[in-house]
């Protein structure tokens, strides 16, 4: 796909459309006033935005885990776009530059967390998150002001459509990295939605000797095969999952049944990385089996600098992720896009495209 070109001088409109969650079941396309950028902010014209599980939760439940909507929230943190106005302080890329976005802002460093893992900082904020109040609006809008430290210049050869996958691919990269060196090891991925499929692609690039993907539905298993899975198993086949005896397991289903499969499918002394976010509160876990097998259970949350590794791997062609994208909708059809993204049996990653024609407002 040819990369769109943007003039270095752009007259911006006064308002622009944005996808906003107002409450559970209340998703709207609102026409919002464009704020003036801060000196360290560039104005980005968003071209593509990927719908994440957290976006779906804010729409469906008015909350994502313990992050509860207390005011309308602009959704979206998986985006690609073009700089249309460079930052006034001279930092960051010039106008006309295609970019991906690192959506995190690490919190203060006084708390007891590892200095090299800012994703764990207790005050960390994220685009499109209601974890704190006032909420941090996301980037599902035609134009958005972003600090230049969030921007990553896209090398030639990475299209903006593919670039919408860079943020979730960094989540998958971080999860695989939490398992250590996977070269020559057998791997099992539980849950083959977008993050699981991207984990398969990252494992393939990292040299895993055999990759098995598990899911309830045929569509995600087909995607997993397309990005590198050597074998696929339906989630109900407990015997086949246990027979895998994987050295490394990536649990990305986000439910306790998937975690049980991950523990059962790991070999003795193996590693289970939990990237799927289970619901808040106590969860049933096969902990005795994890103990007697001396499994290492590791959490994985967002990412740090792995976004730069993803960009480099896409640029040199060693990471193949395009099959994860299954649908694309104009932002004016956001509700339909969210409904399709909700249906994991029929979709992988669903993208919103931000073009010239949008209705001024819509709701459901």
**Is 123 in the same domain as 210?**
no
Instruction: Tell whether 229 and 128 lie within a shared domain.
Output: no
Position 339 in a domain: yes
Q: Cα(327)–Cα(337) distance, rounded to whole angstroms?
A: 8
Is residue 37 located within the same domain as residue 94?
A: yes
Q: Are residues 257 and 160 in the same domain?
A: no
Distance CA 151, CA 119 (A): 17
* Structural domain contains residue 39: yes
| Residue 20 and residue 160 in one domain | yes
**160 within a domain of the structure (yes/no):** yes
Is there a domain that residue 96 lies in? Answer: yes
Number of domains, the chain: 2
Helices 194-206 + 166-178 axis angle, to 10: 60
Q: Give the integer Cα–Cα distance in Å for 345 and 343.
A: 5
Give yes or no: residues 20 and 107 share one domain.
yes
Q: What is the pTM of this model?
A: 0.92
Residue 121: predicted pLDDT: 79
Position 109 scores a pLDDT of 61
Task: Give the per-residue pLDDT at 8.
Answer: 45
Query: What DSSP element (H or E) covers 81?
Result: strand 78-85
Q: Please tell me whether residues 207 and 93 are part of one structural domain.
A: no
Assess whether 211 and 71 both reside in one domain.
no
Pairing verdict, β 41-50 and 78-85: antiparallel
Q: Say if 305 falls within a structural domain.
A: no
Q: Are residues 288 and 194 in the same domain?
A: yes
pLDDT at residue 362, as a whole number: 33
| Per-block mean pLDDT, blocks of 10 residues, the chain (364 long) | 47 92 97 95 97 95 89 98 97 97 81 75 88 94 97 96 98 98 98 97 98 97 98 97 98 96 98 91 93 97 94 97 97 97 96 65 33
Per-residue pLDDT, 360: 31
Per the structure, the complete domain to which residue 194 belongs is given by 172-299
Residues 48 and 99 in one domain: yes
What per-residue confidence (pLDDT) applies to 364?
34
In a domain, 6, yes or no: no
Cβ distance 83 to 95 under 8 Å? Answer: yes
- CATH number of the domain encompassing residue 178: 3.40.50.720
User: Last residue of a domain, which of 299, 333, 349?
Assistant: 299
User: pLDDT at position 112, please?
Assistant: 65
Q: In CATH, what number is assigned to the domain containing residue 159?
A: 3.90.180.10
Decide: helix, strand or coil at residue 333: helix
Query: 23 and 161: one domain?
Result: yes
Residues 80 and 148 in one domain: yes
């Amino acid at each position: 796909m040819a990369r769109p070109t943007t003039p270095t001088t752009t007259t911006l409109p006064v308002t622009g459309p944005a996808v906003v969650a107002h409450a559970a079941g209340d998703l709207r396309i609102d026409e919002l006033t464009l704020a003036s950028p801060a000196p360290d902010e560039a104005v980005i014209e968003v071209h593509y935005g990927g719908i994440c599980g957290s976006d779906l939760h804010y729409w469906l439940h008015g909350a994502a885990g313990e992050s509860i909507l207390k005011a309308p929230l602009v959704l979206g943190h998986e985006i690609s776009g073009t700089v249309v106005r460079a930052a006034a302080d001279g930092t960051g890329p010039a106008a006309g530059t295609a970019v991906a976005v690192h959506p995190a802002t690490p919190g203060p460093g006084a708390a007891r967390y590892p200095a090299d893992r800012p994703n764990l900082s207790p005050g960390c904020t994220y685009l499109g998150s209601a974890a704190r109040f006032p909420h941090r609006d996301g980037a599902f809008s035609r134009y958005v002001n972003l600090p230049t430290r969030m921007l990553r210049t896209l090398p030639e050869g990475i299209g903006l459509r593919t670039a919408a996958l860079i943020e979730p691919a960094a989540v998958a990269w971080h999860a695989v990295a939490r398992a250590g060196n996977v070269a020559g090891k057998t791997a099992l991925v539980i849950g083959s939605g977008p993050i699981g499929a991207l984990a398969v692609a990252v494992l393939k690039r990292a040299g895993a000797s055999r990759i098995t993907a598990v899911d309830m539905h045929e569509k995600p298993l087909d995607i997993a095969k397309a990005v590198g899975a050597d074998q696929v198993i339906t989630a109900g086949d407990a015997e086949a999952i246990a027979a895998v005896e994987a050295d490394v397991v990536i649990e990305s289903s986000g439910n306790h049944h998937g975690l049980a499969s991950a523990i059962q499918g790991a070999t003795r002394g193996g590693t289970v990385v939990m990237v799927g976010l289970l619901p808040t509160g106590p969860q049933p876990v096969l902990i005795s089996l994890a103990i007697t097998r001396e499994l290492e259970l590791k959490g994985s949350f967002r990412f740090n600098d792995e976004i730069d590794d993803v960009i480099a791997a896409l640029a040199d062609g060693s990471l193949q992720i395009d099959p994860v994208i299954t649908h694309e909708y104009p932002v004016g059809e956001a509700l339909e896009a969210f409904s399709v993204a909700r249906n994991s049996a029929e979709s992988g990653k669903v993208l919103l495209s931000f073009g010239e024609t949008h209705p001024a407002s819509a709701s459901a």
